[in-house]
Amino acid sequence: MPLHPQIADWFASKGWSPRAHQLDVLEATEAGDSALLIAPTGAGKTLAGFLPTINDLIDNPAKGLHTLYLSPLKALAVDVQRNLMAPVTEMGLPIKVEARTGDTPAHRRQRQRTDPPHILLTTPEQLALLLSHADAGKLFGGLRRIVIDELHAMVTNKRGELLSLGLARLGTLAPQLRITALSATVAHPEILRDWIATPVPNAEARLLLGTGGAMPDIGILNTEQYVPWAGHSAAYAIPDLYQVIKAHRTTLLFVNTRSQAELLFQLLWEANDEDLPIAMHHGSLAVEQRRKVEAAMAEGRLRAVVCTSTLDLGIDWGDVDLVVQIGAPKGASRMLQRIGRANHRLDEPSKALFVPSNRFEVLECEAALEAVQHNWQDSEDPVSGGLDVLAQHVLGSACADAFDPVALHDEVRRAWPYRDLDWETFEHVVDFVATGGYALRAYERYAKLKVMPDGKFRIAHPGIAQQYRLNIGTIIEEAMVKVRLVRGRGFKTGATTGPIGRGGRVLGEMEEYFFTTLTKGDTFLFGSEVVAYEGMVESEAYVSRSQGKDPKIPSYMGGRFPLSTFLAEGVRKLLAHPDDWSQLPDQVADWLRLQRDVSLLPQPDSLLVETFPRGSQNFLVCYPFEGRLAHQTLGMLLTRRLERARARPLGFVASDYSLAIWGLGDFSGLIRTGRLSLDDLFDEDMLGDDLEAWLDESALMRRTFRNCAIIAGLIERRHVGVKEKTGRQITVSSDIIYDVLYQHEPDHILIQATRRDAARGLLDIERLGHMLARIKQHIVHKPLDRISPLAVPILLDIGKEAVFGEARESAMADAADELIREAMGQV
Amino acid sequence: MLLSFCCHQFEALPSGALFWRAENALLVADLHLEKLSSYARRGSLLPPYDTGMTLRRLEADLDLTGAAEVIALGDSFHRDEGSTTLLPADRLRLAALMGRARWTWISGNHDPAPHSLGGTCASIVERAGLTLIHEPKRNQQGIVAGHLHPSAHIAMNGRSVRRPCFVHDNRTFIMPAYGASTGTLNILAPAFVGLLHWPTLEVAMIGKGRVYPVSPKRLITGAEW
């Protein structure tokens, strides 16, 4: 029994006993091993992480940094400090615990470097900052332990890549350190274990599974209401939801996007006859407003909070006794984590309710329900490392001290995401950091890194370290614009007309790209009001109050996460097995029966393609169930091919389930007469030249490049989005840099990084590739006279979702034609 | 595409140049040579290829038109010292171009000082009743200028596109920026207010390999100017 009596007494005084997995972590640490603890929320994970530290410090109360705690949220670091101080104080131990975030005062941060606490609670970005100072070796040299919280949430993104490089560095500075990582349940825990094992090669890493909590109590909303064919508002469910909220103490209502949150919040307040305290929480709200909601929540003053993924992680928000998922669950692991937000007491079941907002989502909810009940996991696996993050780390290493490239390469390969990094690529990255890495050697005299006689690289001057510290991190804020309320009609389009309406109050901020899709008069929901877009004035969006109740632009944007492969399989299986439809609501089962009668049901190992005329156009609808991103990519590539086949496509729209393309050519006829072959159309070779040709022009690549260029340090963070009063950018835009670079060095390190990110994120190419391989020679074509029941939802999305097409050039051609007609007096 | 301005005929090229056939002259504005490399001193090592791109563009336009004269309407260099920082290959390329045509460098706000690259350095050029200058002046007839980097953003049948454009009102002609690294400013932006007379406005947008005349009523403001 390695537990120190002082700790055992404290447990006893509380009437508790340590949980098995808490002791397991302690035992692993005492045995000199690292450990990955996988346990559900509410299992006392945080204490499990710190028990070995407390235990060790009681016997060895040495000065200096003993344990470094890293979490993805600075709020979590602050919260853990509070929660950890309680037992430490109650045990009467002289252990110093401090948090360090971007909000920590500069003088304290300065002091923490020279006189650190025993336990420092911080974020991956702050770790990178600390490591970039020359005194990092002194600060971390005696470090015994690292505790990483919510590891599963970090390993799938660039923050995880940055963290992994920081861990590798710490492993060099303090070979004696051991890592304890805490994670929610994931699909492949052994990969996460390796992830924390590689930075400390002299230690084993144990995989510890916490005892599972009680089986969650989950249902799908049972409603008398009509479930809509399409849309994401879940308006039909409002009366039921209101009753559910009334029947519980505190309900968390998760939605997938900010605009869904806005809409749901508005609808709930319209139904809120009893004035229940219902609040909203999402990333576009002002920080003070979010803090207010969180405080009210913690004090138990709220009955319901409508929220987005901003509340997926983090601290306990009081007594949540019900979690409601509105709309598509998207993934089983994600749902399990969200459901875990309810009832942080381990032994009682968490209670959750799925509310599909349309008929396909009913199927998805059924699939998710089955997965969650079996505790099946489909979480994303950790990703291999990006070269942009590596470039940032290389510069950071040079800021701390001159580095030997061979030694740094070895160290970097101890970061799990970079374990396979070859020397040549590493050299290119170092060259990029030093001089830009261009084939044309233009910048030798401006080099940021200089090679010293002993072969080590050092920074050219101290200003470079300052610049580096201002640009640290991997989180790139989307360019946001302020939304300001003005009087309607006061502002007119066109610079030649009257005075601009004077600005009123600022409603909040919104992603800049949203406004690129709007024209004057378009209405949308913001801050729970329907507003009309008036125009951009300098760098603010002006809006006026709208009379109408229904916003014209739903700005749904589909959310960031596509349907998981796993749930997609579940949906395909359910569709293909009419025997299982009895579990579905009658109206949904009827819909599927109708599809079976008038067309075909999609089968798991083939791809159903329907073609039919409608109005003056022809439609091609297919059902890959591979998620919106893969479908968008597929749509882009198919329309290019249809163009070449002279099928005259006009546009397409993609959902998580299906893809609809429309055009002027007679798709059915072209296929029947053999002029269009579906096997050729869907051939995997589209991922070759067609993909390349499309990427050449794709705005997605430009947007992705911007992020990579900022992370890699090519573009300075503080310059991004800075504009003069005239609206002209002071600095050169990242689009221009991308175009110039792409044309001259398509294999440049940063273009490689951009490609990888685009392929993985926005394009979902790997998944599309798997799908194309699976359905090869298994395409089932069904020509129809009219629209099929299954095609209705996606066709209803036209006009609501973004429509894509090769239309930019032709828009100008049309405008030119129009001008000619006008000149000829034909308009 | 032919544009008629103050009784002169100009050919608007998709590169952003104007070919003045009557004078056998090629007009270009805002080359901003050495723009990306000018950030290196501040620690941003941007791709040093924009100068070469712009010069190759000029080379192609000279091949296409056979112009015997090039008039650059200011901001030819992103900074004055740009004329001295040219990489050897770009310097050779520029020298070859200047050997093929008479060259006039009009000064701009980015490159006010004369330089010693050859050709003529001037602040203004009067030619055939027109005034060629960097910054457009208000209320003066027959100005051909650059400086503002005009672009048009149009919406048509649910699609929208924004591209650099030629724009004039038959009093003032504003050329698009020619340089490979130049950004643009929507002609609805405040900087254009009072400069152009709306009822006689003519707008020609640069597309792929051709120039499209568009109706001013199609113009919109986007999220960026």
Question: What pLDDT is attached to residue A24?
Answer: 94
Decide if A791 contacts A619 (C-beta within 8 A). Answer: yes
Answer whether B138 touches A (CB < 8 Å). no
To the nearest whole angstrom, how far is the Cα of B12 from the nearest Cα of chain A?
Answer: 15
Side by side, which strands form the sheet with A145-148? A97-99, A119-122, A67-70, A145-148, A178-183, A34-38, A205-209
Contacts of B222 in chain A (CB under 8 A): 515-516, 536
Test mutation, A492, A496, A520, chain B, max B CBs within 10 A = A496
Q: In 3-state terms, what secondary structure has residue A573?
A: helix
Contacts of B193 in chain A (CB under 8 A): 495-496
The CA distance from A203 to A197, in Å, is 7
The reply to whether A5-209 and A217-373 are identical in fold is yes
* Cβ within 8 Å, pair B223-A516: yes
* Cβ within 8 Å, pair A728-B191: yes
* Cβ within 8 Å, pair B48-A728: no
Question: Quick one: CA torsion of B143, B148, B149, B152, rounded to 10 degrees?
Answer: -90
Q: In 3-state terms, what secondary structure has residue A229?
A: coil
The CA distance from A172 to A141, in Å, is 9
Decide if A351 contacts A342 (C-beta within 8 A). Answer: yes
The CA distance from A635 to A626, in Å, is 12
Question: Which of A 198-217 lie inside 8 A of B, CB atoms?
Answer: none
Mean pLDDT by 10 residues, chain A (827 residues): 85 90 94 92 81 94 94 83 89 94 90 96 96 96 96 92 98 97 92 97 93 79 86 89 95 88 90 94 78 85 90 71 91 86 69 93 94 88 93 98 98 98 97 95 93 96 93 79 73 38 70 66 72 76 77 54 87 94 92 95 95 92 93 89 87 90 93 95 91 75 88 78 40 85 94 90 86 94 95 81 55 78 65
Answer whether A481 touches B (CB < 8 Å). yes
Answer whether A464 touches B (CB < 8 Å). yes
Q: Cα–Cα distances in Å, from A394 out to A174, A431, A434, A792, B68? A: 19, 10, 10, 52, 51
Nearest CA in chain B to A518: B222
| CATH of the domain spanning A5-209, picked from 3.40.50.970, 1.20.1730.10, 3.50.50.60, 3.40.50.300 | 3.40.50.300
Question: Which of A 526-545 lie inside 8 A of B, CB atoms?
Answer: 535-536, 538, 541
Decide if B107 contacts B122 (C-beta within 8 A). Answer: yes
* Cβ within 8 Å, pair A541-B154: no
Question: What pLDDT is attached to residue A513?
Answer: 65
Contacts of B153 in chain A (CB under 8 A): none
Question: What pLDDT is attached to residue A616?
Answer: 85
Question: Which of B 3-22 lie inside 8 A of A, CB atoms?
Answer: none
Contacts of A813 in chain B (CB under 8 A): 207, 212
To the nearest whole angstrom, how far is the Cα of B175 from the nearest Cα of chain A?
Answer: 17
To the nearest whole angstrom, how far is the Cα of B110 from the nearest Cα of chain A?
Answer: 13
Nearest CA in chain B to A459: B43
Question: What pLDDT is attached to residue A341?
Answer: 75
Question: Which of A 727-786 lie inside 8 A of B, CB atoms?
Answer: 727-729, 731-733, 736-737, 739-741, 743-745, 748
Answer whether B92 touches A (CB < 8 Å). no
Give the pair of three-digit tokens for residue B94. Answer: 């520029």
Give the pair of three-digit tokens for residue A279. Answer: 């609040």
Question: Which of A 21-60 lie inside 8 A of B, CB atoms?
Answer: none
Answer whether B121 touches A (CB < 8 Å). no
pLDDT tens string for chain B (225 positions)? 999 999 999 999 999 999 999 999 999 999 999 999 999 988 899 999 999 999 999 999 999 999 999 999 999 999 999 999 999 999 999 999 999 999 999 999 999 999 999 999 999 999 999 999 999 998 889 999 999 999 998 877 656 788 999 999 999 999 999 999 999 999 988 889 889 998 999 999 999 889 999 999 888 876 554
Which of A112, A171, A68, A131 lies closest to A396 in space, CA to CA?
A131
To the nearest whole angstrom, how far is the Cα of A596 from the nearest Cα of chain B?
Answer: 35
The CA distance from A733 to A738, in Å, is 9
Question: What pLDDT is attached to residue A41?
Answer: 67
Give the pair of three-digit tokens for residue A120. Answer: 């420092």
Count chain A–chain B contacts defined by CB atoms under 8 A.
176
Rg of chain A over all Cα atoms, to the nearest angstrom: 28
Question: What pLDDT is attached to residue A551?
Answer: 62
From start to end of A58-210, where are the E strands?
67-70, 97-99, 119-122, 145-148, 178-183, 205-209
Nearest CA in chain A to B192: A495
* Cβ within 8 Å, pair B189-A819: no
Answer whether A807 touches B (CB < 8 Å). yes
What string of DSSP letters covers B140-156? Answer: -TTEEE-SS-EEEEEEE
Question: Which of A 278-317 lie inside 8 A of B, CB atoms?
Answer: none
Q: Where are the domains of chain A?
A: 5-209, 217-373, 387-475+700-759, 480-545
Q: In 3-state terms, what secondary structure has residue A506?
A: strand
Q: Specify the CATH architecture of the domain A217-373.
A: 3-Layer(aba) Sandwich (3.40)
Decide if A362 contacts A227 (C-beta within 8 A). Answer: yes
* Cβ within 8 Å, pair A513-B223: yes
Contacts of B40 in chain A (CB under 8 A): 442-443, 446
Closest CB to A495: pick one of B155, B193, B220: B193
Answering whether pTM is above 0.80, one says yes
Closest CB to B220: pick one of A493, A714, A744: A493
* Cβ within 8 Å, pair B215-A728: no
To the nearest whole angstrom, how far is the Cα of A745 from the nearest Cα of chain B?
Answer: 9
The vertex-A33 CA angle with A30 and A37, nearest 5°, equals: 100
Question: What pLDDT is attached to residue A516?
Answer: 59
Answer whether A448 touches B (CB < 8 Å). yes
* Cβ within 8 Å, pair B191-A727: yes
Residue A301: CB atoms within 10 A of its CB come to 13
Closest CB to B47: pick one of A463, A513, A741: A741
Answer whether A804 touches B (CB < 8 Å). no
To the nearest whole angstrom, how far is the Cα of B114 from the nearest Cα of chain A?
Answer: 24
Q: Cα–Cα distances in Å, from A263 out to A237, A268, A309, A354, A665? A: 13, 9, 16, 18, 38
The CA distance from A347 to A42, in Å, is 9
Contacts of A4 (CB under 8 A, 6+ apart): A54, A55, A58, A59
To the nearest whole angstrom, how far is the Cα of B144 from the nearest Cα of chain A?
Answer: 20
* Cβ within 8 Å, pair B156-A716: no
Domains and CATH numbers, chain B: 2-218 (3.60.21)
* Cβ within 8 Å, pair A810-B159: yes
Closest CB to B212: pick one of A496, A535, A812: A812
Question: Which of B 21-80 lie inside 8 A of A, CB atoms?
Answer: 35-37, 39-41, 43-50, 53
Question: Quick one: CA torsion of A450, A453, A456, A461, rounded to 10 degrees?
Answer: -30
* Cβ within 8 Å, pair B193-A496: yes
Answer whether A496 touches B (CB < 8 Å). yes
